[in-house]
Structure 1
Amino acid sequence: MILEKGYEAITVDDICEAANVGRSTFYAHYTSKDDLRRNGLENLRSLLVDRQKNALAKPRETRDRSLGFSLAMFEHARDHIDLYRTLVGGRGGVIALGTIRQILSDLVRNELAATADKKSADVIPREFAVQYVVGAFMAVMTWWLDSGAKLPPHRMDAMFRRLATEGVVPSYS
C-alpha cells in the first residue's frame, strides 16, 4: 500500500480493509498506523539481533565479528529498495528511519558493551561511538540506495565495516 499510495495517504480504514479486519481489532493491537509501522520493524530488529549474536559468537580474533548487523541491513535495504525510497520522502520515512536508527543504536551499544576496553586511559565515551557508527551507517546506506544500490550488499558491508573499525585515513583512494 505504501508503494501504491504513499504512507501519508494511507488511512487506518485502508489498512483494515486490506487486512480484512475491523477497526476495533486494529486498535486492539495498535494505537495508530505509526504504531503499526514501528511494530512492523520488529522483524527487522529480530533479524539484525540474530546476525549480531552469530557474529559475536565467533572467536575474538575473527575480523568478521564486529558490526555483525551490517550485511543483513544492507541486504534488507536492497531487497526493499522501493519501499525505502518511498518512505524517505515523507513523514512515514521519519518514523521508519528513526526506528531503524534506534535499532542500530541498540545493536552498536550492545556490541560495544560486550567488547569494551575499560583499561585504556583514552576511552571515547560509548554513546559518542554509537552515534558516530550509526550516523555513518545511515549516511552510507542512504547514499547507496539513492545511487541505485549498484554495489552488492556484501561489498558495501565490507567497506563500511573496514572504515568503521580501522578508520578513514589509510583506507580511501
Structure 2
Amino acid sequence: MADKVMDRRIARTRGTLQRALSSLILTKGYDAITVDDICETANVGRSTFYSHFTSKDDLKRRGLDEHLRELLADRRRNAPAPGDLKDRHLAFSLPLFEHARDHLDLYRALAGSRGGGVSLGAIRQIVSDLVREEIADNADRNPGDVIPRDVVVTYVVGAYMALLTWWLDGGAKLPPQRMDGMFRQLATEGIMPPDSEER
C-alpha cells in the first residue's frame, strides 16, 4: 500500500513539473526557461526536481514521451475491431496529427525553440518504435523482408516527420484526417506487401 501511495506522489510531482514547463513555454518560450523557473511555478524545490529529472530537456522529453505513448495506448484500447487491413497500418498517424492540432500553440512553441530538437527527437523516437512494432506484428505477411526493416522504419518515420513539420509550420490548416489520409496514401505502398488484399 505504501508503494502505491509513493507511486501516486511521484506521478503527481512529475505531472506538476510537466504542467509548469508547458505553461512557461507558452508564456516565456523554451529557451528563456530555467530549472528555477520551473520549480517556482510548480512550487517544488530544486532537489525534488533533480530527484525526478536531470534537466529541463529531460523533463520535456520524458513528459512528451509519456503523454504521446499514453495517448496512443488509449487509442489502441478504444479502436474498433480490426476490419480493413489498411486501417490497421500506420495507426499512430491520425492520433498524433489530432494531438498536434489540439495543442498547436505548444507544439509550435516547442518546435520553434532551440529545444525543438528535443521535442522532434522524442516524437521521432516514438514513431520509430511504433513502426518497428507494426513491422514485427506483420512479419508473417511479408516473410521475405525484401526491403530491410531499418530502411522501412527510416523511410516511414522520415516521411511522417517531414509532413508533420510542414503542416505545423503552415499553421495546421488542413484537417488531421486529411493529413493522415495523404500520409497513408504516400506511405502504404512502400510498406504493405504487394499481394496484401483487404480481407
Length-normalised TM-score, structure 1: 0.87
Contact 1:55 1:66 in 2 (8 A): no
Q: Distance in 1 between matches of 2:82 and 2:175?
A: 24
SS at match of 1:119: coil
Cα shift at 1:118: 4.7
On the 8 A contact 1:52/1:67 being kept in 2, the answer is no
Between 103-112 and 2-11, report the one with greater CA deviation: 2-11
Greater Cα offset, 10-19 or 45-54: 45-54
Question: In the alignment, which of 90, 94, 108 is matched to residue 85 of structure 1?
Answer: 108
Gap change, CA 1:101 and 1:8, over 3 Å in 2:
same
Query: What is the alpha-carbon distance in structure 1 between the residues aligned to residue 111 and residue 133 of structure 2?
Result: 27
1:58 to 82, 90, 113: 82
Matched to 2:130, the amino acid is L
CA deviations on 1:91-136 (whole Å, 9 max, x unpaired) are 211111101100000000000111024533x610101100100110
Aligned to 1:17: 40
Deviates more, 1:31-40 or 1:82-91: 82-91
RMSD: 1.9
Q: Distance in 2 between matches of 1:90 and 1:28?
A: 26
| Aligned pair partner of 1:6 in 12, 23, 29 | 29
Q: Which 10-residue stretch deviates more, 69-78 or 82-91?
A: 82-91
- The structural deviation recorded for 1:53 is 6.5
Counterpart mapping for 1:123-142 below 5 A: 123-142=146-165
The residue that corresponds to 1:171 in the other structure is: none
Q: Give distance in 2, aligned partners of 1:155 and 1:34.
A: 32
**Greater helix share, 1 or 2?**
2
Q: How does 1:1-173 map to 2 (within 5 A)?
A: 1-41=24-64, 42-52=66-76, 58-59=82-83, 61-116=84-139, 117-120=141-144, 123-166=146-189
Q: Name the CA distance, whole Å, in 1 between partners of 2:149 and 2:76.
A: 18
User: Gaps spanning 5+ residues in structure 2: where?
Assistant: 1-23, 191-199
CA spacing shift, 1:138–1:34, aligned 2, 3 Å: same
Which 5+ residue runs of structure 1 have no aligned equivalent? 168-173
Residue 129 of structure 1 aligns to a residue whose secondary structure is: helix
Instruction: Tell me the number of residue pairs that the alignment of Structure 1 and Structure 2 aligns.
Output: 165
Identical counterparts, % of pairs: 69
Counterparts of 2:80 and 2:153, CA distance in 1: 17
| Residues 67-100 of structure 1: per-residue CA shift (max 9 Å, x gap) | 1010000011111111222222222111111011
